[in-house]
Structures are given as C-alpha cells and as structure tokens.
C-alpha cells in the first residue's frame, strides 16, 4: 500500500498528468496497445482487470475484444479521463473503480486476464502488487506486466532512476527485465514470455507534459545531454539538430497461472507460455482485424 507521502505524490502528479500523459503519442500509440492486447491472448470470453489503469487506454483497447474490462486507479482525474475515453469510443462493456491496488478489492479468481502497464515503477512494493494480480486472476488465466526496462548495468539503471525521480517525483524505481522476470517466480508464477518495444519521443515534449520541481527540468536536460556522449542513462538517446530524442525500452511480460491441476503456462492444451504457435498469432490477428484494428 502507498504511504501517505507517496500517495500524495501520485495524486499530485497524476492529477496534473491525466490529460498530458493519456494523450502523449507514445502512450496512446495504437501499435503498442495492439501488442499488449495480442500478448494477453484476449478473446470474447475473457474478463479483464487493468491495474493502475490511468486514463483507460489499455481498458478501452482490450474492451473491443473481450466480454468485459475493468480499470482501477488511485487518481480521480485519471478515472474521469478514462470515463471520457469510454464515452468517446462508445464502449458499454467497461467498469471503472477508484481505489488503491494493495490489496485489490476483488475476490480470488475474479478475472481471466489481469494487466498493468507503465505502473510498476510507481509501486513501493511491486512484488506485492504482482501477488495481488495473481490472486485475482482465475486458474489458467493470464497476468501481463508492461513497464520500463531499465539498463542491466546497475550504475546506468541507478542514474536513469535518479533522472526519472527528478522528472516525476512519484517515480520509485524502474527495474531491468531480468528483475521483473524474477518477481514472477517470487510470487509463484511461471517464467513469463517476454517481448518489448521502444517508447520514443523528444525531450522537450516529454518535459512539457511532466511536472518536475522548480529547477529540476534543467538538471534533466543536462543528464540527457551528457548521456548522448557517455550513455549514462542506459537508454538510446541521440541529437537531431537542436532536439534530443530518446527511446525508453519497454518490457512486456506474460505468464499463465496454474490451472488448478498443477499445470502453469498452458492454454487449452497448447504449448507452454514461452512457445506460441503461428496459428495462435494468426487467430488473434484475425479477431483484431474483425473488430477494427489496423494490422
């Protein structure tokens, strides 16, 4: 559970970020959302929970495929933004809930798919949140985590997290993919299938939708400029004329829960979660085309 000071930081940051964050090109990118929907294996019989749902982008993307989707978030302004997006897209199979994620206010096994995107670096206890996601996921269901993939170099990861804390005081810690993977084992989930992509953008645009403390924006600019030369942040950064462009690596981890028979990582007799057949991918792509996604 968030401490009072951390809770206050989240509410402060994401009340102000509700619109800028939700409308940022990289965050609302349809291709990235499609990757998450495809990775989850979502279909018409599924019920989905998105943890720390923010402005509802994941919920509204997956709602086009599934029976019902639910989003929970701590920040009222984010839930308001999510409801506006739902109305804009004419979705009737969506529910929103204002609340904390520790513990999740749902019974065991309530959802067949449980997701969380761009939230784990804000959690004080990411392992506890993942354990809650597993608890509310039904036997044989799917747990999906997408978050920033920090450098495997501890010094670079620490510098990246220092920069992100300056940019967003509610930031706690982005983990490297290997550490995110280890969390799955710690809570009793099988080794996740992993994929990833890059969230690309331009530094001044990023700062324009961020709310650092006075004076910290210039410190962030200095860190990015230095990283162009020495890679101190451990992420791809380059200059284009007067602009600095970046690419935050994003890891997407997917695991299937034990189905109650002691079998984890298997979907309807298909190969384990690390092995996906061409037929699986083709079937989901057909479904996504049918409901209007461009592939």
> In sequence order, which residues have a C-beta less than 8 Å from that of residue 143 and are 6 or more positions away?
113, 114, 115, 130, 133, 134, 137, 184, 189, 192, 254, 255, 256, 257
Q: How far, in Å, CA of 211 to CA of 206, rounded?
A: 10
- Both tokens of 82, joined, read 């999510």
Taking residues 211-215, report their average pLDDT: 94
Average pLDDT over residues 138-147: 98
Q: Is the pLDDT of residue 208 over 70?
A: yes
Span 148-170, mean pLDDT?
Answer: 98
Q: Work out the average pLDDT over 244-262.
A: 91
Hey, what are 86's tokens?
């739902």
Q: Which tens digits make up the pLDDT trace of 72-108?
A: 999 999 999 999 999 999 999 999 999 999 999 999 9
% of the chain with per-residue pLDDT over 90:
81
Radius of gyration of the chain (CA): 19
Structure tokens at 269: 């007799």
Position 273 confidence tier, pLDDT thresholds 50, 70, 90? very low
Q: What is the pTM of this model?
A: 0.87
Distance CA 152, CA 136 (A): 31
Tokens representing residue 213 in the block: 């403390």
Q: In whole angstroms, what is the distance from residue 80 CA to residue 88 CA? A: 12
On whether the CB atoms of residues 28 and 20 are closer than 8 A, the answer is no
**Which range (119-123, 154-158, 281-285) has the least confidence?**
281-285
Tell me, what's the pLDDT at 145?
98
Strand partners, 117: 146
Q: Is the pLDDT of residue 264 over 70?
A: no
How high does pLDDT run on average in the chain? 89
Give the pLDDT mean for 139-162. 98
Is residue 170 predicted with pLDDT exceeding 80? yes
pLDDT of residue 240: 97
Q: What is the pLDDT of residues 109-131, one digit of tens each?
A: 999 999 999 999 999 999 999 99
Instruction: Out of 99-108, 170-179, 234-243, 282-291, pick the least confident.
Output: 282-291
Question: pLDDT-derived band of residue 281, with 50, 70 and 90 as boundaries?
Answer: very low
Q: What is the largest CA-CA distance in the chain?
A: 59
């Amino acid at each position: 559970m968030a401490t009072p000071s951390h809770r206050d930081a989240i509410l402060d940051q994401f009340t102000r970020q509700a619109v800028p964050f939700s409308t940022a090109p990289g965050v609302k990118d349809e291709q990235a959302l499609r990757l998450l929907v495809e990775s989850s294996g979502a279909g018409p019989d599924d019920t989905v929970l998105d943890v720390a749902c923010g402005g509802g982008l994941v919920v509204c993307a997956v709602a086009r495929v599934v029976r019902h989707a639910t989003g929970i978030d701590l920040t009222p302004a984010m839930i308001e933004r999510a409801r506006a997006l739902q109305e804009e897209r004419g979705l009737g199979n969506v529910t929103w809930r204002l609340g904390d994620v520790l513990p999740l206010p749902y019974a065991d096994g309530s959802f067949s798919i449980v997701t969380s995107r761009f939230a784990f670096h804000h959690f004080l206890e990411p392992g506890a949140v993942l354990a809650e996601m597993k608890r509310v996921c039904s036997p044989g269901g799917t747990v999906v985590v997408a978050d920033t993939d920090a450098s495997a170099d501890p010094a670079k990861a620490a510098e990246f997290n220092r920069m992100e804390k300056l940019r967003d005081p509610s930031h706690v810690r982005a983990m490297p993919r290997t550490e995110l993977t280890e969390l799955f084992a710690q809570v009793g989930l099988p080794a996740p299938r992993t994929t990833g992509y890059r969230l690309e953008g331009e530094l001044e645009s990023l700062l324009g939708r961020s709310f650092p403390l006075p004076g910290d924006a210039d410190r962030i600019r200095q860190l990015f400029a230095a990283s162009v030369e020495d890679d101190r942040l451990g992420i791809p950064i380059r200059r284009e004329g007067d602009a600095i462009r970046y690419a935050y690596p994003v890891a997407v981890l997917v695991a299937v829960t034990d189905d109650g028979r002691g079998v984890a990582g298997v979907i309807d007799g298909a190969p384990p979660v690390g092995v996906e057949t061409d037929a699986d991918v083709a079937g989901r792509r057909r479904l996504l085309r049918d409901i209007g996604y461009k592939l």
